[in-house]
Chain A
């Protein structure tokens, strides 16, 4: 099986984890700290 499929799977899980991290902490990317 093409190895890239498993890397793509990890990328997807990583993306969701990143979004969950940002969401659950309410990260303000403008850095204004409102």
Chain B
């Protein structure tokens, strides 16, 4: 690993530790949102500090994948295919975490973990669409065809993202929708810090993953 890579790993460990420390503080000592729209144990609303940053990172990762897929079809540069693939993998992992933490929250405040709520359902469709991306890549043996098909599918799959995002507004949904249901100043600041630090961890992990795969792909193409 070169100097930059070692420095990146050190930064990642520091930011990761900071992220977890802020998260533990949020869970143990964080402010409750000023508006608690549903029933259940009020402490369940502390999942806000976990669920929201994860969900934003998922949305960003899939958006990066969409842009990278578009750029691959336009420029046919392998690095964009690598960026799209790594973004989808990271987005899918965040997707698992987003859906499961949302289910834990829903279990307490909505009375059941799964309610076929528009936001839950639309996010599940989004998640499955990108699981399909991974399955597609594994099913095509020719590497060049795999890249073109994956990029095309990556662009088409992106249509599920805005549907997931606006589903809580468009349809009658149990899901809270900011800014219509304000958090209060303290919770707002803490959530903002969580989102920024969690996003920084995502950026570092994305860079690490992209660099590792890109270097390997480029070295295999030179042989």
Contacts and interface: CB of A to CB of B under 8 A. Distances in A.
Contact of A20 (B23, B50, B205): B205
A2 B108 contact: yes
Interface residues of B, number: 48
Interface in B90-120: 90, 93-94, 96-97, 100-101, 104-105, 107-108
Name which of A2, A7, A13, A22 has the most chain B CB atoms within 10 A of its CB.
Answer: A2
A26 B209 contact: yes
B151 interface: no
Interface in B1-46: 12, 16, 19-20, 23-24, 27, 40-41, 43-44, 46
Main secondary structure of the interface of B (DSSP, over half): helix
Given A12-B50, A26-B216, A34-B220, A5 B43 contact: yes
A23 B27 contact: no
B188 interface: no
Given A4-B47, A30-B138, A11 B209 contact: no
